[in-house]
């Protein structure tokens, strides 16, 4: 079950888990009509749909399927590691097939092989608690290797500036099961320069811990509602606004997350049974040309607040530049900072009503830097369905100002398994191939 609680590709954001799940479970469209308008406005000066692909690179939209062909297959691979000894191999594929001029069927499939599963967050080492050596893994009796399968069938519609999509996400692990239906839609107006979008996703999760924590899980239900507005200002300038409300209830903690008290005892984590959060985001995308080479700058700012009194601020800057007719480069810098939840304490006595050692609910700041390159293969490859049409490869590296606790200078209150004079770091390698049929 670590997959759901594993620190995201950027940070251990308190709101990242819900955000990632909403994104993954949704085929939501920001709207394809303004994309068509962008492409039409610049197609005379640009080869193919380069502007479309660059400006859409940060916007999940099922309608993009319709721009590539009758069917296609994306094959992806991700490798994640962090300083706590966690690693995660994730091969995945996404298939789509157009069954009518306006209708497309989709299927996404993921397979995860994870270390440091369940309780550990990479805790396969020995820690010192209350002057006694204790192997925390023995508490859960869970395996140190874990696999997860997930699939997401969906259907998408796009015609005349109107889009709609629906999907069903299913995930299965030995101690965690999730079912998530979602729907979305969008419409264009103002000569297809303005797009309004909305989406809804529901998550029905069941946590079933094993070992010493058997019976301590439970049900978790999440409802996410999102509204968006996108405005094409010029053929090369796009602005957008997004509002997202998420309500969660049930077992909202990590069932393998015991709290270490001041006396060195282990007691169960306990979190409120409900949480409501609001996130507001603004996006600005500016395209430009250097001679015949297209580039763009993407800037997004985001503010998050929940009724656990945790708030966060995110600033994400990405720069795309075509370095040839078919190859592009992406550079990224993401800054993140958050306050602590109202009940988060560095040291617990054990008498508190709410308590957690989960670093996601404590104050921290982080910085992520990344690079990605991608492009298309020779056009002659398109004659064979066995040869890929596009490729990409990238790496993101993040650092968070959370000190280690492994050497005894700091107790293992947050299970940070590295020396106290070092900060938490993580990396994510990604590679992909795309096929058009």
pLDDT tens per residue, range 390-427: 999 999 999 999 888 776 656 667 778 778 788 999 99
Question: What pLDDT was estimated at residue 407?
Answer: 67
Q: Does residue 187 contact residue 195 with C-beta atoms inside 8 Å? A: yes
428 vs 192, higher pLDDT: 428
Instruction: Look up residue 121 and give its two tokens.
Output: 């967050």
411 vs 288, higher pLDDT: 288
In a 10 Å sphere around its CB, with 0-12 CB exposed, 13-18 middle and 19+ buried, how is residue 379 labelled? exposed
Q: Where are the domains of the chain?
A: 2-436
Between strands 87-100 and 71-82, the pairing is antiparallel
Confidence check: pLDDT of 34 > 70:
no
pLDDT tens digits for range 304-319:
999 999 999 999 999 9
Question: What pLDDT was estimated at residue 313?
Answer: 97
Confidence check: pLDDT of 122 > 60:
no
> At 234, which helix (H) or strand (E)?
strand 218-234
> Three-class SS of residue 271?
coil
Question: What pLDDT was estimated at residue 142?
Answer: 39
Question: What pLDDT was estimated at residue 150?
Answer: 94
State how far the Cα of 38 lies from the Cα of 373, in Å rounded to an integer.
23
Confidence check: pLDDT of 22 > 80:
no
What are the phi and psi torsion angles at 293 (to 5°)?
A: -95, 130
pLDDT tens digits for range 146-189:
788 999 999 999 999 999 999 999 999 888 899 999 999 999 99
Confidence check: pLDDT of 219 > 50:
yes
> At 3, which helix (H) or strand (E)?
helix 2-5
Confidence check: pLDDT of 197 > 50:
yes
Question: What pLDDT was estimated at residue 382?
Answer: 83
Question: What pLDDT was estimated at residue 203?
Answer: 97
Mean pLDDT of the chain: 80
What are the phi and psi torsion angles at 137 (to 5°)?
A: -55, -35
143 pLDDT tier (thresholds 50, 70, 90): very low
State how far the Cα of 315 lies from the Cα of 302, in Å rounded to an integer.
7
pTM greater than 0.95 (yes/no): no
215 vs 11, higher pLDDT: 215
Based on its alpha-carbon atoms, the radius of gyration of the chain, rounded to whole angstroms, reads 23
User: What percentage of residues in the chain have a pLDDT greater than 70?
Assistant: 76
Superfamily of domain 2-436: monomeric porin ompg (2.40.160.40)
Most confident of the ranges 65-69, 258-262, 374-378: 374-378
Question: What pLDDT was estimated at residue 408?
Answer: 63
Q: Which of 48-52, 154-158, 205-209, 241-245 has the lowest mean pLDDT?
A: 48-52
Q: Does residue 181 contact residue 155 with C-beta atoms inside 8 Å? A: no
pLDDT tens digits for range 351-381:
899 999 888 999 999 999 999 999 999 988 8
């Amino acid at each position: 079950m670590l997959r759901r609680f594993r620190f995201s590709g950027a940070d251990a954001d308190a709101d990242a888990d819900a955000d990632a799940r909403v994104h993954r479970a949704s085929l939501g469209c920001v709207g394809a009509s303004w994309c068509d308008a962008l492409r039409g406005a610049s197609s005379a000066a640009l080869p193919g749909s380069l502007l479309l692909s660059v400006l859409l690179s940060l916007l999940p939209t099922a309608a993009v399927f319709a721009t590539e062909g009758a069917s296609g297959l994306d094959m992806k691979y991700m490798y994640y590691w962090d300083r706590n000894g966690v690693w995660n191999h994730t091969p995945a594929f996404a298939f789509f097939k157009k069954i009518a001029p306006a209708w497309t069927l989709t299927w996404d499939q993921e397979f995860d092989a994870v270390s440091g599963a369940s309780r550990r967050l990479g805790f396969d080492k020995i820690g010192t608690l209350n002057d006694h050596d204790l192997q925390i893994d023995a508490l859960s009796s869970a395996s140190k290797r874990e696999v997860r399968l997930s699939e997401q069938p969906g259907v998408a519609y796009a015609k005349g500036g109107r889009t709609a999509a629906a999907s069903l996400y299913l995930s299965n692990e030995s101690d965690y099961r999730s079912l998530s239906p979602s729907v979305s839609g969008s419409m264009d107006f103002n000569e297809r320069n303005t797009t309004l979008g909305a989406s809804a996703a529901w998550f029905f999760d069941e946590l079933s811990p094993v070992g010493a924590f058997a019976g301590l899980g439970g049900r978790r239900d999440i409802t996410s509602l999102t509204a968006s507005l996108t405005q094409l200002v010029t053929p090369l300038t796009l602005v957008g606004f997004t509002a997202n409300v998420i309500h969660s209830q049930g077992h909202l903690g990590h069932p393998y997350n015991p709290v270490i008290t001041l006396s060195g005892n282990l007691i169960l984590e306990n979190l409120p049974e409900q949480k409501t959060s609001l996130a507001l985001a603004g996006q600005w995308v500016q395209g430009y040309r250097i001679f015949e080479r297209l580039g763009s700058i993407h800037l997004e700012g985001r503010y998050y607040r929940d009724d656990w009194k945790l708030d966060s601020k995110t600033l994400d800057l990405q720069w795309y530049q075509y370095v040839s007719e078919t190859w592009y480069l992406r550079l990224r810098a993401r800054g993140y900072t958050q306050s602590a939840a109202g009940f988060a304490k560095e040291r617990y006595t054990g008498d508190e009503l709410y308590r957690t050692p989960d670093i996601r609910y404590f104050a921290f700041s982080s910085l992520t830097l990344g690079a990605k390159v991608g492009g298309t293969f020779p056009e002659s490859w398109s004659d064979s369905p066995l040869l890929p049409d596009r490729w990409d490869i990238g790496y993101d590296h993040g650092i968070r100002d959370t000190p280690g606790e492994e050497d005894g200078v700091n107790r293992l209150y947050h299970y940070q398994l590295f020396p106290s004079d070092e900060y938490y770091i993580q990396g994510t390698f990604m590679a992909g191939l795309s096929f058009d049929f």
